[in-house]
């Protein structure tokens, strides 16, 4: 029983003996709160550890531990033996007022650190639970056909045999065996000239674009961009200070002559030559050579985004532009977001030579040190076991079939209303609307009915296109595609009839 003469009057210093929180932590918290709420004043002497221990019926060690922690955090000062005092200047911790006393808007929002570039909410966050992936959301891989078991087996093998070495900080350019496997794959399948030392693994195309923008663009530099084109690429390049020079498209792709004539001083060109996003089509060989010749002469960088060319359904897939370039002007971007799954966040940049790749490696290290190693190990295991090529082959057949189904459905059910054309590759189709319709309004009306179709006009800058919807088909089976087309056609017909 503590002696009466030793009672210490610090209000609220009550220990909860039933609590699982260790006693020293409780004492620390009680004293800290008393200091923050000014029940203990700056400079006030604290009872000695012995007295406080006796008063609270605790061992002295418990009080010493609490004092030590308070002293470490700067709440109290003083050496053992000379007494402990509440610090004159408190550490920078906001006093915690009881909730009911706190003013409703205590901290003003940081308007000054808002991201200034208008990026759509869809880009920020997407609900991707299976039930939420609705026709014709694009571009979703067919996750119902993903080889989950094989992936899990690869992961199991990796985790079972984990060793210390790869778990440490690693080469910022990425796990070397994975880079070697990617180089081997691309040399054979995309006719790309590269070795593992030219590759930097990234967290997808988006990071690759950010690194390229940081390394290659200066404030005010002009860049050519397809119009319509990939908004997320333009966003990154503009955010880095670049000025977009929109270049129109023709049946054989990007209008190089227009770009040369109108924007001869551009220092960079972003392009999707194998499968133009979002209109489709392939850049002709004549234009490829013209573009490379100009880039070589003007020392212009070409960023080739080869985002979905594994899914080409014709007999002869078009090789990458990079493979035609002996003058080291092309920077090639690849991603596993379409061939495997976007949440994996693994992509890669291929630089023209090792020196440039090393420089990008530094930029990568600067941004986030490196990609997560375990995912790289699993992906490597997946590629080495041939599962990657098998999966691509299967998905190519599946997607080709799904495109045919969607085409047939729209041609039959949407006759006289929607116009679609077969695509030689990719993961989406364009459905052209009647000219008098507004694709943004149609997309919004469809969205309210649970159908997701992105309006083409959202991708155009200057060179306006007729109204059209971008329809992803790869993630949807025949039943969902049929339901989606039926509902979409009916809703668009109703809206079109209101306009006529």
Ligand X SMILES: Cc1ncc(COP(=O)(O)O)c(C=O)c1O
Binding residues for ligand X, rule: CB under 6 A, are 139, 204-206, 230, 272, 277, 305, 307, 335, 337, 342, 347
CA distance 195 to 183: 6
Least Å distance, CB 65 to ligand X, is: 49
Query: Is 248 or 273 the residue whose CB approaches ligand X more closely?
Result: 273
CA distance 132 to 38: 52
Residues 6+ apart with CB under 8 A from 131: none
Residues 6+ apart with CB under 8 A from 429: 280, 403, 406, 407, 410, 420, 421, 423, 470, 471, 473
CA distance 154 to 165: 19
Query: Is 204 or 425 the residue whose CB approaches ligand X more closely?
Result: 204
Distances in whole angstroms, Cα of residue 439 to Cα of each of 326, 434, 454, 492: 42, 10, 8, 10
Query: Is 304 or 325 the residue whose CB approaches ligand X more closely?
Result: 304
Least Å distance, CB 383 to ligand X, is: 17
CA distance 500 to 496: 7
Least Å distance, CB 44 to ligand X, is: 57
Q: Which tokens is 127 given?
A: 């609900």
Least Å distance, CB 138 to ligand X, is: 8
Query: Is 205 or 312 the residue whose CB approaches ligand X more closely?
Result: 205
Least Å distance, CB 310 to ligand X, is: 13
CA distance 381 to 372: 15
Least Å distance, CB 93 to ligand X, is: 40
Residue nearest ligand X (C-beta atom): 204
CA distance 82 to 330: 72
Q: Which of 201, 198, 238 is nearest to 221 (CA)?
A: 238
Least Å distance, CB 202 to ligand X, is: 8
Q: Which of 348, 396, 3, 26 is nearest to 197 (CA)?
A: 348
Least Å distance, CB 404 to ligand X, is: 22
Burial class for 54, CB neighbours closer than 10 Å (0-12, 13-18, 19+): buried
| CA dihedral of residues 222, 227, 231, 236 (deg, nearest 10) | -10
Query: Is 77 or 189 the residue whose CB approaches ligand X more closely?
Result: 189
Query: Is 198 or 474 the residue whose CB approaches ligand X more closely?
Result: 474
Helix axes 176-189, 373-384, angle to 10 degrees: 40
Query: Is 228 or 347 the residue whose CB approaches ligand X more closely?
Result: 347
Query: Is 47 or 204 the residue whose CB approaches ligand X more closely?
Result: 204
């Amino acid at each position: 029983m503590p002696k009466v003469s030793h009672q210490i009057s610090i209000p609220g210093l009550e220990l909860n003996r039933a609590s699982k929180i260790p006693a020293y932590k409780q004492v620390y918290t009680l004293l800290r709160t008393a200091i923050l709420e000014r029940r203990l004043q700056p400079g006030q002497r604290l009872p000695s550890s012995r007295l406080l221990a006796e008063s609270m019926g605790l061992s002295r060690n418990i009080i010493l531990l609490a004092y030590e922690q308070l002293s470490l955090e700067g709440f109290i000062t003083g050496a053992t033996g000379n007494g402990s005092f509440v610090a004159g200047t408190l550490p920078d911790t906001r006093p915690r007022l009881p909730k009911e006393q706190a003013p409703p808007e205590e901290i003003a929002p940081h308007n000054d650190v808002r991201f200034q570039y208008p990026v759509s909410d869809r880009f920020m966050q997407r609900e991707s639970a299976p039930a939420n992936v609705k026709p014709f959301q694009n571009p979703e891989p067919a996750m119902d056909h993903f080889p989950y078991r094989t992936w899990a087996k690869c992961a199991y093998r990796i985790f079972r045999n984990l060793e210390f070495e790869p778990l440490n900080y690693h080469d910022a350019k990425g796990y070397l065996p994975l880079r070697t496997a990617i180089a081997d794959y691309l040399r054979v399948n995309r006719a790309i000239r590269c070795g593992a030392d030219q590759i930097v693994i990234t967290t997808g195309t988006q990071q690759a674009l950010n690194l390229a923008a940081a390394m290659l663009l200066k404030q005010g530099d002009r860049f050519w961009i397809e119009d319509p084109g990939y908004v997320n690429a333009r966003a990154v390049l503009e955010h880095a200070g670049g000025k977009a020079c929109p270049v129109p498209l023709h049946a054989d792709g990007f209008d190089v002559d227009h770009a040369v004539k109108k924007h001869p001083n551009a220092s960079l060109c972003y392009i999707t030559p194998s499968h133009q996003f979002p209109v489709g089509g392939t850049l002709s060989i004549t234009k490829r050579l013209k573009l490379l010749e100009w880039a070589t002469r003007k020392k212009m960088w070409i960023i080739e985004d080869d985002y979905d060319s594994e899914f080409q359904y014709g007999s002869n897939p078009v090789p990458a532009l990079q493979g035609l370039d002996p003058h080291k002007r092309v920077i090639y971007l690849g991603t596993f977001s379409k061939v495997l799954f976007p949440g994996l966040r693994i992509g890669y940049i291929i630089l023209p030579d090792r020196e440039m790749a090393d420089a990008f490696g530094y930029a990568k290290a600067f941004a986030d040190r490196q990609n997560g190693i375990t995912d790289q190990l699993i992906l490597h295991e997946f590629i080495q076991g041939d599962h990657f090529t098998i999966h691509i082959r299967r998905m190519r057949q599946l997607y080709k079939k799904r495109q045919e189904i969607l085409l047939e459905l729209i041609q039959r059910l949407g006759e006289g209303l929607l116009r679609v054309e077969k695509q030689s590759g990719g993961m989406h189709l364009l459905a052209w609307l009647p000219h008098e319709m507004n694709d943004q309004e149609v997309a919004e009306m469809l969205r309210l009915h649970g159908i997701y179709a992105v309006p083409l006009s959202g991708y155009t800058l200057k060179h306006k296109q007729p109204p059209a919807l971008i329809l992803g088909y790869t993630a949807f089976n025949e039943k969902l595609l049929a339901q989606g087309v039926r509902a979409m056609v009916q809703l668009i017909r109703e809206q079109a009839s209101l306009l006529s």
